[in-house]
Amino acid sequence: MTPSPAPRTSREAGLRVDAERNRQRIVTAAREVFAESGLEVPIEDIAKRAGVGVGTLYRRYPTRGELIAAAFEDKMTAYAEATRQALAEPDPWQGFCGYVEKICAMQAGDRGFTTVLTMTFPMAKRFEADRDQAFADFKVLVERAKAAGKLRADFVTEDMPMFLMANAGVLTATGDAAPDTWRRLVGYLIQACAAQAAQPLPDPPAPRQLYKAMLRATWQQRERRARKEK
């Protein structure tokens, strides 16, 4: 007969509660700090915001990548949900416009968001699955809007990362001085996507070229932040 497991002591239960409370504090602090300052903030700043020791943070999240994935899990789920909602819109063009506005708004509210989209997190299977599904759904959304005759025929999926990089530049330049300027940029971009407004465009960059450009932009942001901290 298999013996029953030993009952959990109140001390063990208390330790589990404390560990979960610390995990929630760390993830909440990481979300806040990443949104405010980007992904390269010192881990010590996050631990301080969470009210835990650095050792406690590292025991729960041994690498920065694991901490980033945990902090952005809900945001990535919302990102994937945005594409599902766009596909559910009866009018493909309205679905496309709403998607562009939603993703740019997510970017405006979180400085680390677009950087996360250029990173890989092999240890976070759900995170990666949500991102892959979001991209697949976006491709379908684009094709539907084109088939409806509303989205310009030469729009490519690589244009969306280009929009986000342009939006990031406006967000950085306007900051607190004119925080809603990005909305006007997005309005211009959406109008430029309309089929009736289409004019010939230069060829788009290859996907690999654009990915390298996004990585370079991320690296430049890190360097600027590092110089400011010196």
Q: Which residues pair with 151 in a beta bridge?
A: 194
- pLDDT by residue (tens digit) across 119-134? 777 777 888 888 889 9
Instruction: Read off the pLDDT band of 176 (50, 70, 90).
Output: confident
Position 76 scores a pLDDT of: 87
The answer to whether 26 touches 57, Cβ cutoff 8 Å, is yes
Helices (H), the chain: 10-37, 43-50, 54-60, 64-71, 73-88, 92-109, 113-117, 125-147, 159-174, 181-193, 207-229
- pLDDT by residue (tens digit) across 15-40? 577 888 999 999 999 999 988 877 88
Asked if residue 214 has pLDDT above 70, the reply is no
pTM of the model: 0.76
Position 136 scores a pLDDT of: 94
For the chain, domain boundaries: 10-62, 73-229
Any idea what DSSP says for residue 51? T
Position 11 scores a pLDDT of: 54
Distance from C-alpha of 155 to C-alpha of 195, rounded to nearest angstrom: 10
Position 2 scores a pLDDT of: 54
- pLDDT by residue (tens digit) across 149-175? 999 999 999 899 889 889 988 988 897
Give me the CATH topology for the region 73-229. Answer: Tetracycline Repressor; domain 2 (1.10.357)
The answer to whether 119 touches 131, Cβ cutoff 8 Å, is no
Any idea what DSSP says for residue 39? T
The answer to whether 89 touches 98, Cβ cutoff 8 Å, is yes
Asked if residue 209 has pLDDT above 90, the reply is no
Distance from C-alpha of 221 to C-alpha of 198, rounded to nearest angstrom: 33
Query: Phi and psi dihedrals of 194, rounded to 5?
Result: -65, 140
Distance from C-alpha of 215 to C-alpha of 14, rounded to nearest angstrom: 44
What is the homologous superfamily of the domain 10-62 according to CATH? Homeodomain-like (1.10.10.60)
Mean pLDDT, all residues of the chain: 84
